[in-house]
Structure 1
């Protein structure tokens, strides 16, 4: 598209990408999807000016604390202020029905298609004329994500794939986020534009582990503390609580603190030990919410959580995890992506 290329020559990344994204909606092409992802990753490397401190200070009032439970916000009432209150007051927010069940089912099917393209390319080509299902961008630095199950395991087993490795799905999700108003909401929340990232934008298909256990952790342990983040964890399956698929255990705590790891009975050097978790949770509690397909959980890098495996879990859990960063402090090692 000549108009988009002209804008790129002028350094107008966002305007150019808006045109390319619109072109892909009108006529999906694998080559265009790959071009969009290449450019978004390249643009994400450009560090914007830090926003004025006064602008950030004026964005939010002090959080209105809610104790004893994770606040639930109706999708129609989601705002930057309510999100800020929930995350800074209790550590997280639940938004029921952010997506319709039918839309969640469509996204589950897309994840299955990407998994098959990655696992069985002879059965489902990674790239077709209208869709780049599993294509690594030349702009991605470092090795592929190491989450993926080994090739000899069945397709239904656990899989985690970077969204950036599926330009077809990435373009779909970017359109979805725009339709939900997330770029504007996050701009208000951060006081500046948001970024995604290669390493923290993930399609998840998690097999049940009735006898399994997962480590308690905070993403700030890996990402750092001097940043602003919001994670959108979008449930695409009925999961958590008494549901047949694993959910999430969350400490109800909005404190801005990264806890020591590798101590207090921790299994690994990157996890928070169960003894410390018990002490932290003694005054606030732990919850395992039940999610329907289309429900969303928002939290940030201070949230203490883990995947919850229970004996009654027999079903695969589908979810999409999208970490958003304030543009000026997005960790470069996470490979920021222009939203």
Structure 2
């Protein structure tokens, strides 16, 4: 319709003007509106490009520092010895104060039913579309020509997506950066906005949050029999002197007695990085099982069960691993999104403006 095209063109012109002024918040709002008015693969790609560009811009970093709040205590007393489970809240009770209390008391927080089951199912189907577009772009059905299901931005640096399959079979497991699917990036950013996540994280950090290109991942995981899932802390890779929150969205029935693998977590509020590559560790980046066993005498291990739409929030100090059990025989779908306080976002993780 001509009026829709005119509105989209106006929004795009405004976006370009604000970008020239270095006003990334307004530029991205106008560009998002232009894509909503007339969706296109090129606008979706542009949104990803601009968000990465904004994430590394000096003005964006300065904004984070200007709003930064005094650092809360980085170490909290160990969790109550009687507490054996990760605390849980419904979506209506998810606040910055409750998140801080849970992470610094137990290491993590579970939000039951953060997404409706129907939304989780749609996201799971979209992960399949992204994997299909990545694996077989020539034969992938172009049912939505206005959608960029898989295309790598020139702004993204690093290795391509990881895909694993047996010879002659379809993709068994995949791990794909969300930024490599502009269509999914737009979908998820809109979802995060509806959930109030940017505001929640700004209250938690005391400054705006940034996403990470390299730690914002679509996951489709096939259970591995007799597989070794190493205990680890993401602070081992990201650095200890940052502020972070990981939003892990379960899109499958997983963990506990479910058919798909879940997560083991140490219920521990102490914010410290444990030595790796020792105490019987399988790899130089994992915490050895002997050390974990000693830690578990003071802070119990929890293996929660997740329904599609449940969320787990934790930070870079949380000691965890994928829970692999003999009864696991189903795929696990999930979306992982690491957020950082803007002033401490690691440059090598490619901060993305939200």
CA distance in 2, matches of 1:308, 1:324: 24
CA distance in 1, matches of 2:146, 2:67: 45
Residue 143 of structure 1 deviates from its aligned partner by: 2.6
Q: 1:312 to 1:35 in 2, by over 3 A?
A: same
Contact 2:248 2:313 in 1 (8 A): yes
Q: Is 1:271 the equivalent of 2:282?
A: no
Paired residues in the alignment total: 337
CA distance in 1, matches of 2:152, 2:71: 40
Contact 1:126 1:135 in 2 (8 A): no
Contact 2:254 2:306 in 1 (8 A): yes
CA distance in 1, matches of 2:67, 2:153: 36
Please state whether the residue corresponding to 1:110 is helix, strand or coil.
helix
Unpaired runs of 5+ residues, structure 2, are: 1-11
Residue 128 of structure 1 deviates from its aligned partner by: 5.6
Residue 69 of structure 1 deviates from its aligned partner by: 1.8
Could you tell me the TM-score, scaled by structure 1's length? 0.94
Residue 122 of structure 2 corresponds to: 106
CA distance in 1, matches of 2:276, 2:254: 28
1:202-246 per-position Cα deviation (integer Å, ceiling 9, x unaligned): 000000123222000000000001100000000000000000000
Residue 147 of structure 2 corresponds to: 131
Please state whether the residue corresponding to 1:290 is helix, strand or coil.
coil
Residue 296 of structure 1 corresponds to: 311
Question: Which of 170, 177, 183 in structure 1 is aligned with 2:198?
Answer: 183
What are the equivalent positions in structure 2 for 1:39-78 lying under 5 Å apart? 39-47=50-58, 48-49=61-62, 51=65, 55-57=69-71, 67-78=83-94
CA distance in 1, matches of 2:210, 2:183: 19
Question: Which of 8, 18, 42 in structure 1 is aligned with 2:29?
Answer: 18
CA distance in 1, matches of 2:29, 2:77: 34
1:109-139 per-position Cα deviation (integer Å, ceiling 9, x unaligned): 1000000011111221689631111100001
Q: 1:213 to 1:153 in 2, by over 3 A?
A: farther
Q: Is 1:34 the equivalent of 2:49?
A: no
Residue 58 of structure 1 deviates from its aligned partner by: 7.7
Q: 1:244 to 1:170 in 2, by over 3 A?
A: same
Residue 226 of structure 1 corresponds to: 241
1:246-289 per-position Cα deviation (integer Å, ceiling 9, x unaligned): 00000001111100000000010000000001111111110110
CA distance in 2, matches of 1:119, 1:11: 37
Contact 1:133 1:168 in 2 (8 A): yes
Residue 260 of structure 1 corresponds to: 275
Contact 2:221 2:332 in 1 (8 A): yes
Report which stretch shifted further, 258-267 or 208-217.
Answer: 208-217
Q: Is 1:158 the equivalent of 2:158?
A: no
Residue 327 of structure 1 corresponds to: 342
Please state whether the residue corresponding to 2:226 is helix, strand or coil.
coil
How well do the aligned residues superpose, as a CA RMSD in angstroms?
2.1
Could you tell me the TM-score, scaled by structure 2's length? 0.90
